[in-house]
Amino acid sequence: MKCDDDTDQAFDPDDYTTSDEIERPGDQRFWKWTALGLATIAFAKGMRQPNLWSYTQAQLNYDVGFMRRGLFGWLLGRPLALNHYANFAVLSTVLLLVLYGVLLLLTRTSRLGDLAPPGKLLAVYASSYSVTYFANLNGYLDIPLALLCLGPLFIRRTGLRLMAGLAATIVGILIHEEFFFAFVPLLAVSVAFGATTAQTPTLKRRACAGAILLAALGIALTWYMGRHASISEEQTQQLATLAARTTDRPLHDGVFGVLPRTPKQNLQIMESVWKRPTFIPAQVESFLLFGPTAALLSWATLLMLREWRPQRYRWLYAGTLLATLAPLSLNLVGWDKNRWNQLVCFNAFLMLLFVSRMLAGRPIRLPLKMRRLCLLVMLLNMATGNGLMDDVHIRPFPFMRNPNKPSAPSTISQLNQPRILSGLAPSLHTAEAQTAAVQVHVARELVSGIAKVSVNAHVL
């Protein structure tokens, strides 16, 4: 005999919630603090001083003529005395911290934790290797480019967001052409999304036209820079000489080697990179570093669009995917694969915040499988630790020791290994390394003396 409340509805495991998975009033606060803690750990894993490549790039300016990547040094180089490494390191670290601060402000204004409670999505990105990688990029122009992209996303009015996006596009491409590939599609999509909130057909058409205008400006300016912003070998040598006279650190020759290169020459170099047998395996490894986080955040964006804009969510999600995957195009023109692919994770989070901020409806409940995947991805993110720039290693907890700093051999059996001596050689300008070298020499002499005494005793 069936009870009156029995139904024939099939059992859906996504609707099943155990007593341990019921959201309690304090869950949102817990996950917000958890996200902050995970972000701090992820940041500490990758934080380092700016390297010589980024320091050299900050010395580029327009002293020998108009060129690519010269705006940053032209605007800030002399006023902030960036030829002194200490000044450059301070500015770079400040910009990095400002980036995290602005991202935190955008997260707060998006109300993502309230609209997709209890806030596990925040913790997913906070723990991601993208946060670690941005810390490792301290000093690179990627940081000011990301800041330029974040600015327009705060603006709710489509027209003003378009104007801010146009200004950011011009400045960003003059700083580095990476901005066109990584962030112009995202800004164009953010303007196109204005059509979904427009009240009249005219405003909808203007939003679409504005997105096309922004994309066209990016294409035109990038094309112009590729055709007319390469300088000659003589100009490059002159710029390198001028920079070397005022800097207090050695400059990276590779930065100057890029300046005379035309887009055609660059693609010829990249063709040889694509043909390497290690190219595909390296891309697969890079996908495993950043793919799970990006996929999970993009899935959450799809659920929000389907809930809040059920009639148009397919077109909106197509734009979201375009903005998210745009940085992958950088693999066609540059070989810093992890540097480009981590931006996929970053853009996926930005689109999630933008949708939550601009198209918010009633709060949605994430499926049980997604909530469990959030925990799994967080664990993977915390365990991720390779592929950083310059082949450096992450800082393990408690983050008090630099794992990339060469150390003196700890046992006499290591003294005869040439790799240790060669590892110390580049750092002999420091007092610590000089002391270590003296200790190695004395120990080797001691071992040699003991061996001679043993041979003489055997002969006797």
10-residue averages of pLDDT along the chain (460 residues): 43 43 67 93 93 96 94 96 97 97 95 87 96 96 97 95 98 97 97 91 94 97 93 95 95 93 91 91 93 96 94 94 96 91 97 93 90 95 88 75 58 39 33 44 50 40
Start-to-end C-alpha separation, the chain: 106
177 touches 222 (CB < 8 A): yes
Catalogue the E-assigned strands of 43-83: none
Please state the pTM of the whole predicted model.
0.82
For residue 444, the surrounding DSSP H or E stretch is helix 431-459
Distance, in Å, from the CA atom of 29 to the CA atom of 33, rounded to the nearest integer, reads: 6
**What is the per-residue pLDDT for 449?**
52
Retrieve residue 354's tokens: 């933008």
CB half-sphere exposure, 185, CA atoms < 13 A: 21
Q: H helices of 47-84, where? A: 52-57, 71-76
Report DSSP letters for 278-295, one per residue: THHHHHHHHHHHHHHHHH
pLDDT for 25 equals: 55
The residues, ordered by sequence, that sit 6+ positions from 299 with a Cβ below 8 Å of its Cβ are 370
Query: What pLDDT sits at residue 405?
Result: 66
Overall residue count recorded for the chain in this entry: 460
